[in-house]
Chain A
Amino acid sequence: MLKIENLHVRVAGKEILKGLSLEVKAGEVHAIMGPNGAGKSTLGNVLAGREGYEVTQGSVVYEGRNLLELEPEERAAEGVFLAFQYPVEIPGVNNTYFLRTALNAQRKHRGEAELDSMQFLKRVREKLAVLHLKDELLHRAVNEGFSGGEKKRNEIFQMALLEPKLAILDETDSGLDIDALKMVADGVNAMRSPGRAFVVVTHYQRLLDYIVPDFVHVLADGVIVESGDASLAQKLEEHGYAWIAERKLAGAA
Chain B
Amino acid sequence: MSAALLEEFGRGDARAREESWRYSKMALRSLAQQDFVAADPQAELPEALRARFDWRETRGRRVVLVNGVVSGRYSDFDDVGAMVTVGETGGAYAVRIDGKVDEPVHIVYVGVPSTQPSRWQADTSMVVVNGFARMIEQHLGVDGAGVLGSVHRRIDLGEGARLDLMSLCDLPESVALYRLLEVRLGAKAALHATHVLLGGRLQRLDMQVELAGEQARLESRGVFALRGRAHADTQLDVRHVARDTVCDIVWRGVADERARGIFHGAITVAAGADGSDAKLSNKNLLLSSSAEIDTQPVLEIYADEVKAAHGATVGQIDERALFYLRSRGIPLVEARRMMVTAFCREVLDGVADADLRERLARRMQAALPADGLQDA
Interface residues, chain A, with chain B CB atoms under 8 Å away:
48-51, 71-73, 75-77, 81-82, 84, 87-93, 98-99, 101-103, 105-106, 109, 141-142, 158, 162
Contacts and interface: CB of A to CB of B under 8 A. Distances in A.
A144 to B, nearest CB: 10
B324 A162 contact: no
A102 B328 CA distance: 6
A142 B327 CA distance: 14
A181 B119 CA distance: 68
Contacts of B342: 90-93, 141
Interface stretch (B148-156, B162-170, B332-340): B332-340
A75 B328 CA distance: 9
The 10 residue pairs across chains A and B that have the minimum distance between CB atoms: A92-B342, A76-B329, A106-B329, A102-B328, A72-B326, A88-B324, A92-B345, A93-B342, A73-B326, A90-B321
19 contacts: A51-B323, A71-B332, A72-B323, A73-B326, A76-B327, A82-B327, A89-B321, A90-B324, A98-B325, A99-B328, A101-B334, A101-B338, A102-B328, A102-B330, A103-B329, A105-B330, A106-B329, A162-B328, A162-B329
Tell me which of A49, A84, A93, A142 has the highest count of chain B C-beta atoms within 10 A of its own C-beta.
A93
B343 A105 contact: no
Contacts of A158: 328
Tell me which of A48, A73, A91, A141 has the highest count of chain B C-beta atoms within 10 A of its own C-beta.
A73
A232 to B, nearest CB: 30
B361 to A, nearest CB: 11
B73 interface: no
Interface string B304-320: 00000000000000111
Contacts of A50: 323, 327
Contacts of A75: 327
B91 interface: no
B341 interface: yes
A217 to B, nearest CB: 23
Interface string B337-364: 0110111011000000000000000000
A141 B342 CA distance: 10
A93 B338 contact: yes
Contacts of B343: 92
Contacts of B324: 84, 87-88, 90, 142
Contacts of B330: 73, 98, 101-102, 105
B358 to A, nearest CB: 13
